[in-house]
Every structure is written in C-alpha cells, then in structure tokens.
Amino acid sequence: MQNGNILRQRSVSIELLYPCRRGRPNESSYTIDDNLIPTNTTHRDLGVIASADLSWSHHYKNLASHAYKTLGLLRRSFRSTDCINAKKSLYLSLVRSQLLYCSQVWRPYLIKDIVLLEKIQRRATKYILKDFVSDYKSRLIALDMLPLMVELEINDIMFFIRSLKLPGEHFNILSKVSFCYNATRSGSHLRLSHTRSTNSYANYSFFNRLPRLWNSLPPLNLDDSARVIKRKLQSAFKRNFDSNFNPTVPCTFHFVCPCHRCSCSPNIASFNLSFYLHVRLLGVLPR
C-alpha cells in the first residue's frame, strides 16, 4: 500500500517527451494506475531545456532571457561604478557563466542562434566600457576578451582534454571518438576520426563536431597540464581573432564555424559574404 502511494505521488510529476522530427509527433499514450501521463514538447533538466523536435531553440531563448535580466540587474545595481575591471568581473562571473553552462550539449550551429547569443556579449561590452561608438572587435580587444562562440569552442576542447586525463568510471570518451595517425602531421598532435551522420541534428552534436574542431588546431602536447593546454588554445584563438574576426560576419565568430555551409565546404574559411552583408544591412547584426 505504501509503495502504491509513492508511485501515485511520483506520477503527478511525470511527463512524457517524444523526441521526433518536426511534423511527425508520436501519438502513443501511457498510464499509471489508470491515470494518463501528460505529454509535453519541452522538458527542463539540470538547467537545460530539451525539445521534442530535437532543436535547442527554447533553451537559447530561455538562456538569452536570463542573461539579459542578470545584465540589467548589474546595470541598475552598479550604475555609478566606473571601474572597468569590476564590471568585467561581474559580467564574467554572473552572466557569461550562464552562457557557458553545459554548452557541450547545446552549442549553436544555426546562424540565427549564433547571432542571438553573441548579441548578449555585444551589449555587455558596451556596458562595461560605456562605449557605444566603437565596433564589437575594438571593444573585445580593449577588454582582452574573445567572442562568446570561441569560448564555447574552448569549452568543447577542454571537456575532451579533461575526459582524456581524468576518465570517469562509467564514461570513456574514447568509446565515442578515436585517434588516427596522419604521417603528414606532427606525431604530438594526432587527428580524430571524423564521421558524418545522415541526421542533421546528430552531425552537430558534440562527438560529431569535435573531430573537425580538433583537427584544425595547432599541434598540442597532451602531456601538458590542462591549464597549460588551455593557455595555448587561448593564444592560438587570439591570433585567429586578430586576423580573421569580422563583427558583421557570423562565420568569423568561431575558430571553426559549425554552420552547414562552412562544415560542408572543403575550405573552412569560405562563406557567402554577400548573404551576411545583406543580413547586416537588414539590421540583424548590431555593432
């Protein structure tokens, strides 16, 4: 009797989420003690919102909403503060930390989502510097910061590095990706095998996008500590940022752009510049 009561109490908080392609919902229904289990199109777990259509659009909108609220709170609470370092520290600890949380699961690959999240840091740099005239690149250089999308790439790589150095008891990352030796490259930087899936959602998941990013990096010594490796990555990404970043072209927000056009192109740096200039003229990309 007691177990039955516990089951009925738990059934109140149970929801069904049917992952499926758009336009193909699952109409099956399930019951517990003749009580119909409700279905939902989204579900929040550990701060990440999963959707039945396998996209992360709801999560991006929720993330942007919370980040803007926190940024607005900082602006109201520290209106009289002129210390750039203090405002930068507040942004990094209270706003950007939200934008980096669990990014290995949901990192965006659609241009509209990339622009949506990068806009948050654009606005934050204006607040920190009180500079509403300079362009985004100039503000990032003044603050010694990298674009948000580059920070997400660093998150991906460091998760891989830490998983290699400190494998978990129930998770071995080499069961998902594997190294392969390429005689044309330095032996200290092995390549990861790269496979593509027929499912577009799977192609942009962590274990499918990681090899392309890893194989584009300069040689890394895996015997170095994670801190040293991260410092080398930041230096390499900073050089790429200085030479290639264009605040009006979303494909340059990354070290390796994950969008469909760039991921399918043999030349990683290639993109349709005229299309993005058109988007810029429409006002989608602010300064």
pLDDT the model gives residue 40: 72
Q: Which residues, including other chains, have CB under 8 Å from residue 101's CB and lie 6 or more apart?
A: 47
pLDDT over 90 at 138, yes or no: yes
pLDDT over 70 at 82, yes or no: yes
What are the angstrom distances between the C-alpha of 180 and each of 164, 185, 193, 208? Answer: 15, 11, 6, 15
What are the angstrom distances between the C-alpha of 192 and each of 29, 37, 39, 57, 233? Answer: 42, 43, 39, 29, 17
Residue with tokens 């072209």: 249
| Mean pLDDT, range 51-63, rounded to an integer | 86
In the three-class reduction of DSSP (H, G, I as helix; E, B as strand; rest coil), residue 139 is classed as helix
Between residues 190 and 286, which one has the greater pLDDT? 190
Q: DSSP secondary-structure letter at 144?
A: T
pLDDT the model gives residue 272: 42
**DSSP codes joined into one string, 210-234:** HHHHHTTSPP--TTS-HHHHHHHHH
Residue 264: other Cβ atoms inside 10 A: 9
pLDDT over 50 at 271, yes or no: no
Q: What percent of the chain has pLDDT over 90?
A: 39
Residue with tokens 């950007």: 96
Q: Phi first, then psi: give them for residue 252, nearest 5 degrees.
A: -90, 5
Instruction: Extract the tokens encoding 228.
Output: 């040293």
The pairs formed by 185-194 with CB atoms below 8 angstroms and a separation of 24 or more are 185/219, 186/219, 188/219, 188/220, 188/221, 188/222, 189/217, 189/218, 189/219, 189/220, 191/215
Orientation of helix 84-91 relative to helix 111-129, angle to 10°: 150
Cβ(17)–Cβ(40) below 8 Å: yes
Orientation of helix 111-129 relative to helix 148-165, angle to 10°: 110
| Mean pLDDT, range 7-28, rounded to an integer | 60
pLDDT over 80 at 221, yes or no: yes
Residue with tokens 């919370």: 66
Instruction: Give the number of residues written for the chain.
Output: 287
Q: What's the rounded Cα separation, in Å, for the pair 276 and 251?
A: 9
What are the angstrom distances between the C-alpha of 149 and each of 31, 184, 256? Answer: 43, 30, 10
Residue 265 one-letter amino acid: S
Cβ(268)–Cβ(262) below 8 Å: yes
Considering only 127-136, 215-224, 226-235, which range has the smallest mean pLDDT? 215-224
pLDDT the model gives residue 182: 57
Q: What's the rounded Cα separation, in Å, for the pair 249 and 278?
A: 10
Cβ(54)–Cβ(25) below 8 Å: no
pLDDT the model gives residue 78: 86
CA atoms within 13 A on the CB side of 14: 14
| Mean pLDDT, range 70-77, rounded to an integer | 92
Residue with tokens 């603050």: 143
pLDDT over 80 at 24, yes or no: no
Which residues pair with residue 94 across a beta bridge? none
Give the chain's radius of gyration (CA, Å): 22
pTM as predicted: 0.80
